[in-house]
Amino acid sequence: MTSEFFTQTSWWVPFYGLAGAVLTLPWATGMIRRTGPRPAAYFNLLMTVLACIHGWFILASAFNHPARELVYHWLHVADLDLSLAVEISPISAGAMEVVTSLCLLAQLYSLGYMEKDWAIARFFALMGFFEGAMSGIALSNSLFLSYALLEMLTLSTYLIVGFWYAQPLVVTAARDAFLTKRVGDIILLMGVVTLATLAGSLNFPDLYQWAETANLPPMTATLLGLALISGSIGKCAQFPLHLWLDEAMEGPNPASLLRNCLVVGCGAYVLIQLLPILALSPVTLATLVAIGSVTAIGASLVAIAQIDIKRSLSHTTSAYLGLVFIALGMQRADVAAALLLAHAVAKGLLFMSIGAVILVTNNQDLTEMGNLWSRMPATTSAFVVGAAGSIGLLPLGGYWALSKGINAFWGEQPWLVAIFLLINGITAFGITRVFRLVFLGNPHPKTHRAPEVDWPMALPMVTLTVVTLMTPLLLQQLSLLPPFKYQYLVEPAQLLLVTSSLLGCGLGAIVYLPRTWSRSVLIPLKFVQDLLSYDFYVDRLYRLTVVFAVDLFSKITAWIDLYIVDGLVNLVGLATVFSGQSLKYSSSGKTQFYALTILIGVSLFALFMSWPLNQWAWSQWSLTHWSLLSGH
């Protein structure tokens, strides 16, 4: 009976975060000032705690039970059925609990990080909005509902990236993040509408049943699949819609934490649910593999050339999600889910640790840091554990997730194994480089007196450190990993994975890192430095191609609107005014004069209408006459 109650009320969980956001509005809008903004934060924390507790009971009731579905019909017209469907299964309930738990830690962390910000109430309202959308995506069993929640995430990204809206760079970053995601969302909407027309329903069980018997033309299946993956390409910061995540690091660090560990994962989670439909098109699956490979290799190389600590880690997020796209393109949803969970926990811990560094040093430049390990031991430990959990080092979750992927592709796709090993090695190199520049070496003026953070930030870091250490057990409980066996540790795939991790860490430890970061005088090396630092000049390429084309097209359409459309409209108006002004002088008051005017007007109109017909008749007569003359 209790289990049934928690199942039937599972849809409450997304509304806890939304309720917290609504309760925060009186403080966020300035209606309540006397108490200060802290009560708004406490309301959001309370709602998130309730969501975690409720979600825990739902997860406990979902274990050892078949998946259950709750359907709320919203619109049923002819063959179209738009429903709000929710699925309760160990995977969906586990994903929801991961979201709410990480949101709780992030909000507690924000109490310390945003303590002195005058708009902390607005920030917590946006965090509640984030939480509601992400937990809803975890439970959603309908593409219609998932699309609506993805749109909420796009709006949330715009608002929270632009939180410090007084800074011009922040405004630009929020705009670019919103527009980049909108490109993918609009194409995704085309796919959703097409799929609803073809299948008659957008609930995932109905779509799976339709996909089993669907016989689409290859072109239709390909266009449909490409449209369905476009939204996730934008959400997961994959090439060519990857530039927004780098710029989004201008927002507050707690928001960057959620964005790098959860928001990017929501797009991939929707792709996992769409995998049976995507499998209708081999071209779509190949595109997923190609996009994932290009993004993983490119982003991991770009990450090692960044001097902004948050941007360096954000590029590794794009690279890791590239591996997830490869797994999805190979139809290995289990590998993708394991990679997502391991990455979410470890990357959240990494962003908590660097957020602590940024707060106490008021600095994000890697070249102005150093020797923080002795001053910030808890932060240093969190960074080390998060870094180890992000790469293939035993015994943490990153090793088991990457190992699962390598084992899946070991026999038939050795080149994918090479990509996994390469990305793991480059990521290990980049994270080791960041560790050396931040925590080792000589202290700089901004790090001489850097104290350890207070308990509101230290407690979530320590908690997430423990969770990161226990990630392998969590993966096993969610059936994403088989029971651990010692022989797995001596297989060639696992040995290669550990070797690539150790090699990357070793190179990161011995490569010379000049603090001045002077550019090399050697032309080839200088070219490579600039190429990686500026993300292969993709943004400049967009300005010269897409942005230039859109700008030119907008200027042409503006000219047409101003001089042709408006000109014709103004000409009609001018002619009307002129004729009206002219006719007023012909008003004599005599009926016979009016009748003559009407007669002349009607005659002219009839002549005008019959003129083309007369011209045609004359041409026919001339042609006939000429033919007779020629024949004679």
- The residue-averaged pLDDT of 540-556 equals 86
Does pLDDT of 177 surpass 70? yes
Does pLDDT of 518 surpass 60? no
Contact present, 113 and 454 (Cβ < 8 Å): no
Residue 392 counted as domain residue = no
- Measured between alpha carbons, how far is 340 from 360 in angstroms, rounded to an integer? 30
DSSP 276-295: HHHTT-HHHHHHHHHHHHHH
Does pLDDT of 172 surpass 70? yes
Q: Which of 89, 108, 141 lies at the terminal end of a domain, its last residue?
A: 141
Does pLDDT of 529 surpass 80? no
Residue 74 counted as domain residue = yes
- The residue-averaged pLDDT of 440-467 equals 82
Residue 573 counted as domain residue = no
Does pLDDT of 631 surpass 80? no
- Measured between alpha carbons, how far is 283 from 281 in angstroms, rounded to an integer? 5
User: Residue 326: what are its φ and ψ, rounded to 5°?
Assistant: -60, -45
Residue 441 counted as domain residue = no
- At 370, is the pLDDT very low, low, confident or very high (cuts 50, 70, 90)? confident
Residue 122 counted as domain residue = yes
* 35, 110, 126, 439, 486 from 25: Cα distances, Å: 14, 18, 10, 40, 54
- At 626, is the pLDDT very low, low, confident or very high (cuts 50, 70, 90)? low
- Fill in the amino acid letter for 545: T
Residue 548 counted as domain residue = yes
H or E stretch including 80? strand 80-88
DSSP 543-570: IIIIIHHHHHHHHHHHHIIIIIIHHHHH
Burial 138-148 (b: 16+ CB within 10 A, else e): bbbbbbbbbbe
Task: Identify any residues that bridge with 485 across adjacent strands, giving them in sequence order.
Answer: none
Does pLDDT of 632 surpass 60? no
Question: Tell me, what DSSP letter sits at residue 305?
Answer: T
Residue 542 counted as domain residue = yes
Contact present, 109 and 460 (Cβ < 8 Å): yes
- The residue-averaged pLDDT of 277-301 equals 91
**Which residues lie below 8 Å from residue 601, measured CB to CB, with a gap of 6+?**
none
pLDDT of residue 601: 75
pLDDT of residue 587: 63
Number of folded domains that form the chain: 2
DSSP 63-79: TTS--EEEEEEEEEETT
pLDDT of residue 288: 92
Residue 313 counted as domain residue = no
Does pLDDT of 224 surpass 70? yes
H or E stretch including 86? strand 80-88
- The residue-averaged pLDDT of 311-327 equals 90
pLDDT of residue 168: 82
- Fill in the amino acid letter for 177: A
Per-residue pLDDT reduced to its tens digit, 381-392 = 999 999 998 888
- At 215, is the pLDDT very low, low, confident or very high (cuts 50, 70, 90)? confident
CA atoms within 13 A on the CB side of 109: 30
Name the residue range of residue 100's domain. Answer: 1-141
pLDDT of residue 81: 67
- Measured between alpha carbons, how far is 353 from 226 in angstroms, rounded to an integer? 38
Q: Which of 92, 120, 141 lies at the terminal end of a domain, its last residue?
A: 141
- At 393, is the pLDDT very low, low, confident or very high (cuts 50, 70, 90)? confident
- Measured between alpha carbons, how far is 466 from 483 in angstroms, rounded to an integer? 21
Question: What's the burial of 514, exposed, middle or buried (CB within 10 Å: 0-12/13-18/19+)?
Answer: exposed
- The residue-averaged pLDDT of 15-42 equals 83
- Measured between alpha carbons, how far is 509 from 109 in angstroms, rounded to an integer? 30
Neighbours of 65 (CB within 10 A): 12
Determine what percent of the chain is predicted with pLDDT higher than 90: 10
For tokens 């997923």, name the residue. Answer: 288
H or E stretch including 85? strand 80-88
Q: Which of 101, 125, 141 lies at the terminal end of a domain, its last residue?
A: 141
- The residue-averaged pLDDT of 610-630 equals 61
Q: Among the residues of 362-478, which ranges form H helices?
A: 377-390, 397-409, 414-439, 455-469, 471-477
- Measured between alpha carbons, how far is 628 from 632 in angstroms, rounded to an integer? 6
Q: Please give the mean pLDDT across all residues of the chain.
A: 83
pLDDT of residue 170: 83
pLDDT of residue 256: 85
| Range picked from 307-321, 367-381, 469-483 for highest mean pLDDT | 307-321
